[in-house]
Amino acid sequence: MIDHNNLEEYQEPMNYDLEFGGETGKYDFFLELAKSHPENVLELACGTGLTTIYLAEAGIQITGVDIVEPMLAYARHKAKDLPVEFIEADARTFESDQRFSMIYLTGNAFQAFLSDEDQIALLQTVYAHLEPGGIFVFEMRNPEGNDLSDEEEESWGTFVDTDGVTVKVSGTQTYDAGKQIMHWVTIRDWGHRKTISRIACRFTDNKALQHLLTSHGFIVEHQYANWDKTPFEPSSPLVISVCRKA
């Protein structure tokens, strides 16, 4: 079941890009992989197409899928005549006649699949749409490398919005250890107005993740701690998994 609070974070796509865009190290990581598997690439949970469009600008034939129409509308606006198609669909139930040489998620989107059933449905979608030997790539926050304790409101930083206003970002976190789900509340303060959004993310242990992947037809070929391919260690805050369809 979708936690519809998760969608609150994605209603202002232009400001979303200004707050979260510019991760060129990540974009280059996916571009390098895509160039090795150039036939047809799929990004699930693509949002405004930050990574999708970067790959399309480099000549990669790519499709982006997302469930939030305002994000897709802005992605299509930015894409113009690039070799990219954007489709509104749920990654758990997406169906296409196309088969892809590479499928990926980013922005820690894997963590938005909150239950075992959600994770399995996602992996079944990926497996069904990958060509034999195709690769599946995604990242998530590693529970062993992150502070999962409950926290009262604290400053998380700032960004400059579409009108040139510096927006202060703060938030709280509350962790449900039984369900492995972190609940974040994000507060954005423009000075003259405030917005509040909620998001829930599941923290999956890496050992459980590897078992989940191998039991659903994937070989885990590499795990990295960051986008420059530093090898993953148990205490790394991030785990980037590069898998191949068995």
Regarding whether 100 and 17 lie in a shared domain, the answer is yes
Regarding whether 137 and 233 lie in a shared domain, the answer is yes
What integer pLDDT is reported at residue 5 of this predicted model? 56
**pLDDT under 70 in the chain at which residues?**
1-9
Domain carrying residue 189: 145-201
CATH of the domain at 17: 3.40.50.150
pLDDT tens figures, 151-197: 999 999 999 999 999 999 999 999 999 999 999 999 999 999 999 99
Regarding whether 86 and 167 lie in a shared domain, the answer is no
Regarding whether 61 and 93 lie in a shared domain, the answer is yes
Overall number of domains in the chain: 2
Regarding whether 75 and 20 lie in a shared domain, the answer is yes
What integer pLDDT is reported at residue 4 of this predicted model? 44
Q: Kindly report the CA angle at 239 between 234 and 245, in degrees rounded to 5?
A: 115
Regarding whether 176 and 229 lie in a shared domain, the answer is no
SS3 48: coil
What integer pLDDT is reported at residue 201 of this predicted model? 96
Regarding whether 111 and 154 lie in a shared domain, the answer is no
Regarding whether 17 and 97 lie in a shared domain, the answer is yes
d(CA 173, CA 182): 7
d(CA 222, CA 226): 12
Regarding whether 106 and 43 lie in a shared domain, the answer is yes
What integer pLDDT is reported at residue 11 of this predicted model? 74
pLDDT tens figures, 58-73: 999 999 999 999 999 9
Write out the H or E segment, with its range, that includes residue 151. Answer: strand 151-160
Regarding whether 67 and 169 lie in a shared domain, the answer is no
The pTM for the full model equals: 0.94
Residue 216's Cβ-side half-sphere holds a number of Cα atoms within 13 Å equal to 21
Residue 51's Cβ-side half-sphere holds a number of Cα atoms within 13 Å equal to 31
Regarding whether 181 and 115 lie in a shared domain, the answer is no
Regarding whether 193 and 161 lie in a shared domain, the answer is yes
